[in-house]
């Protein structure tokens, strides 16, 4: 792979995708390897001077399609459900398949399927419910974390902290999100969700993602909220979750947590040599 100090003689192709407004830059490194630095990821994430994204996804070759995720601050993310669905939808569209295996760095191999109506679903794997798997800093009850509001802790490859509230619209997410993200109970920081029960198996949710901030949607967060609600007896194991950007359907089955919803491949572009050389 090219070292960062070598001259850039051509641009890097990329794709822009989103699931419910949760947006991604996707780089396919199977035909052209790339070298990423934290500085480069942050520059790409800048919505004024770069491209802008909630997460960056890099596709590489392996026994299965392999994806590595980065947050907007340059840190690694072990799971990104909406990006996984977007990439799976594109790959299945290209090869005409209705099923696909995807290796997620730090999470393992996930399965994706495409239904007759074109909706893509991904099995996000089994939730991690013990304190070490999430992970937490110490052994506590993951159904009632010792934080004001007694949230639920869940691991979906990345850590999640879910608060059930009467009115999600009244929550100052910009203030509460970073406060909980950096709570000492979470050694790897955490995604933060505020969820409101609308009816039987129907939830309204807003999310703060670690390393990114407020996002219109989050697939792994939706899975965590569904698992938390079922564990607390608030819903069954199949729920509809309304986010700021749209709706996802979550089904916690014996083989894992399945998530389905719309995807969009918005455009293809090329990062210019001058942009890359400026970093």
Instruction: Convert the pLDDT of each residue in 165-176 to its tens digit.
Output: 999 999 999 999
Name the percent of the chain lying above pLDDT 70.
97
Same domain, 91 and 167: no
Same domain, 173 and 249: yes
Same domain, 23 and 117: yes
Split at pLDDT 50, 70, 90, the class of 259 is: very high
Same domain, 84 and 188: no
Strand boundaries in 85-212, DSSP class E: 99-104, 108-114, 120-123, 152-155, 159-164, 191-199, 202-209
Angle subtended at Cα 145 by Cα 143 and Cα 146, rounded to the nearest 5 degrees: 150
In a domain, 177, yes or no: yes
- Average predicted confidence (pLDDT) for the chain: 93
In the prediction, which pLDDT does 5 show?
38
Q: Over the stretch 65-120, which tens digit does the pLDDT of each residue have?
A: 899 999 999 999 988 999 999 999 999 999 999 999 999 887 889 999 998 788 99
User: Domain residues for 204?
Assistant: 152-254
Instruction: Give the pLDDT mean for 138-163.
Output: 97
In the prediction, which pLDDT does 8 show?
45
Burial class of residue 57 (count of CB atoms within 10 Å of its CB; 0-12, 13-18, 19+): buried
CA distance 266 to 54: 15
Same domain, 270 and 234: no
61 versus 17: the higher-pLDDT residue is 17
Same domain, 72 and 105: yes
In the prediction, which pLDDT does 7 show?
43
Same domain, 106 and 21: yes
**Nearest alpha-carbon partner for 189 in 162, 209, 164:** 209
Split at pLDDT 50, 70, 90, the class of 9 is: low
Q: Which helix (H) or strand (E) holds 59?
A: strand 55-60
In the prediction, which pLDDT does 72 show?
96
Whether the CB-CB separation of 70 and 77 falls below 8 Å is answered with: yes
In a domain, 144, yes or no: no
Same domain, 42 and 78: yes
Domain count, the chain: 2
In a domain, 1, yes or no: no
Task: Inform me whether the pLDDT recorded for 4 exceeds 90.
Answer: no
Same domain, 212 and 179: yes
In a domain, 160, yes or no: yes
CATH code of the domain containing 188: 3.10.310.10
Same domain, 88 and 116: yes
CA distance 209 to 172: 15
In a domain, 220, yes or no: yes
Same domain, 52 and 102: yes
List the structure tokens of 7: 């001259």
- Asked which of 14-23, 63-72, 179-188 is least confident by mean pLDDT, the reply is 63-72
**Nearest alpha-carbon partner for 277 in 2, 49, 9:** 9
- Asked which of 29-33, 49-53, 192-196 is least confident by mean pLDDT, the reply is 29-33
CA distance 131 to 204: 26
> CB atoms < 10 A from the CB of 126, how many?
17
Instruction: Give the pLDDT mean for 237-246.
Output: 98
In a domain, 97, yes or no: yes
In the prediction, which pLDDT does 2 show?
39
Phi, psi of 176 (to 5 degrees): -75, -35
For 226-253, letters b (16+ CB in 10 Å) and e give: bbbbbbeeebebebbbbbbbeebbbbbe
């Amino acid at each position: 792979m090219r070292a960062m100090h070598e001259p850039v003689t051509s641009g890097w192709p990329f794709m822009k995708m989103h699931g419910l407004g949760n947006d991604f830059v996707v780089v396919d490194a199977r035909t052209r390897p790339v070298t990423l630095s934290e500085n480069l990821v942050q520059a790409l994430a800048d919505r004024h001077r770069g491209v802008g994204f909630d997460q960056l996804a890099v596709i590489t070759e392996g026994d299965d399609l392999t994806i590595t995720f980065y947050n907007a601050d340059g840190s690694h993310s072990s799971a990104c459900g909406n990006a996984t669905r977007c990439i799976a939808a594109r790959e299945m569209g290209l090869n005409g398949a209705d099923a696909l295996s995807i290796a997620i760095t730090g999470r393992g191999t996930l399965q994706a399927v495409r239904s007759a109506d074109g909706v893509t679903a991904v099995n996000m794997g089994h939730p991690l419910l013990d304190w070490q798997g999430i992970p937490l800093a110490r052994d506590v009850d993951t159904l009632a974390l010792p934080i004001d509001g007694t949230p639920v802790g869940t691991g979906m490859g990345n850590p999640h902290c879910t608060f059930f509230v009467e009115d999600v619209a009244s929550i100052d997410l910009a203030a509460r999100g970073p406060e909980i993200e950096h709570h000492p109970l979470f050694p790897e920081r955490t995604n933060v969700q505020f969820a409101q029960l609308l009816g039987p198996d129907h939830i309204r949710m807003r999310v703060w993602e670690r390393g990114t901030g407020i996002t219109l949607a989050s697939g792994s967060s939706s899975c965590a909220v569904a698992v938390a609600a079922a564990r607390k007896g608030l819903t069954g194991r199949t729920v509809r979750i309304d986010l700021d950007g749209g709706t996802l359907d979550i089904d916690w089955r014996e083989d894992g947590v399945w998530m389905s919803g719309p995807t969009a491949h918005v455009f293809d572009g090329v990062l210019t040599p001058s942009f890359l050389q400026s970093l």
